[in-house]
Amino acid sequence: MKVLVVGGGGREHTLVWKFKQSPRVAQVYCAPGNAGIAADAVCVNIGVENTEGLLKFALDEGIDLTVVGPEAPLTLGLVDKFREAGLRIFGASQKAAELEGSKILAKEIMFKYNIPTAKYADFTDAAKAVAYIRETGAPCVVKADGLAAGKGVIVAMDEQTAVDAVKLIMEDRAFGDSGNRLVVEEYLEGEEVSILAFTDGTTVIPMVSSQDHKRIFDNDEGPNTGGMGAYSPAPVYTKDLEPFVYDKILVPTIEGMKAEGRTYEGVIYAGLMLTREGPKVLEYNARFGDPETQAVLIRLETDLVDIIEAVIDKRLAGMEIKWHEEAAVCVVMASGGYPGRYDKGHIISGLGEASATGATVFHAGTAAREGSIVTSGGRVLGVTAMGRTIPEAIDNVYKAVEKITWDGVQYRKDIGQKALKRL
């Protein structure tokens, strides 16, 4: 079969890499792809938001299966457009993807269906939001309502930071129209875990656990990013927690969405905080997480095509999904200055040497130029390695990371350290 992956980051490179391993797949295409993906797939220069262009390509090329990586095309209704044209596509419909596209909708769903989450208030007026913060105090979390590439969430440990966050979102328009409305949430204490699950709108099958590292610097310091690394499994997510998360979070979310006329099919991602009162939902994503996908899918034993087809055909109930026992760690190597301003075009060296260690180097923000691979984004690479244990996987991944260099490269040195404290 011919498979099209929509997107051009590390998550999409992981999906392409996985599809390439399937005996059922003859050719993989990726739109728009990147320099690393080009080694594993035919890259097509169509942007992820060009829904008409993607549809025309899929029809002209006779694509058998399309898989959507990023959130933007989902919220623009790409899945609905493909389905209307009779094409097989994996991802959330436009109505379902609003669970990620609107923080306020997500909160309303959680409160209506008794899904554990932080208390909140939402605002369309900056002055009212500031007054609420002055009244309730800090710490708190301020979130732009709409999509903001993982950067629209400000954890404010003091009142002034929270007030500045309101200004940044609603007055400075740092995230454009995503900041027309905002949410102020209570601050939750605990350790985070990411739970992704496949769902066909009725059946929900969770994947193995992982933990993302959002902050740019070691020890969870500095501003939020799209994610600086992940590992799987997350020891903090014990067997005792699995039934609660399944019964009280994942299933009620899918059932609630169906009841709201927003039947949810594809991958659902629940970002959880493990508090003293139990797991609570921080956020939902309507697709595979990035960089969690790198650490999770490298452990997937079952053919991903078989799982995706079971979702599309609504027969997930009979599916058994197998995972490798080994642990996996992904370290994101980023451009200097990210998540703020950064330069592009720096030549990347050591990619071959890193791969020779046994690690897999997933490309995120790379381009080809005059025979070299150069940086072209904030998050540039997701170096991923496995090991029999998490400590072994950490050793393996950093051996590979140390082989790769470019001007201004930055990466966290502590991915997986929280797991070591638990082991």
Q: Where are the domains of the chain?
A: 2-91, 119-186, 191-318, 327-422
Q: Which amino acid is at 201?
A: G
Q: Which amino acid is at 86?
A: G
CATH of domain 191-318: 3.30.470.20
- Residue 423 pLDDT: 83
pLDDT tens-place string over residues 197-219: 999 999 999 999 999 999 999 99
Give the strand pairing for 2-7 and 153-156: unpaired
Secondary structure of 226-271 in HEC code, one letter for each residue: CCCEEEECCCCCCCCHHHHHHHHHHHHHHHHHHHCCCCCCEEEEEE
- pLDDT above 90 (res 163): yes
Burial 371-390, CB ≥16 within 10 A → b, else e: eebbbbbbbbbbbbbbbeeb
- Residue 224 pLDDT: 85
- Residue 149 pLDDT: 74
Per the CB < 8 A criterion, the answer to whether 210 and 267 are in contact is no
CATH of domain 2-91: 3.40.50.20
Instruction: Please report where in the chains the tokens 């875990």 appear, as a residue.
Output: 193
For the segment 98-102, the average pLDDT, to the nearest whole number, is 96
- pLDDT above 80 (res 10): yes
Mean pLDDT, rounded, of the chain: 97
- pLDDT above 80 (res 166): yes
Query: What is the H or E stretch that residue 58 is in?
Result: helix 51-61
- pLDDT above 90 (res 382): yes
pLDDT tens-place string over residues 270-288: 999 999 999 999 999 999 9
Was domain 119-186 assigned CATH 3.40.50.2300?
A: no
- Residue 422 pLDDT: 87
CATH architecture group of domain 327-422:
Alpha-Beta Complex (3.90)
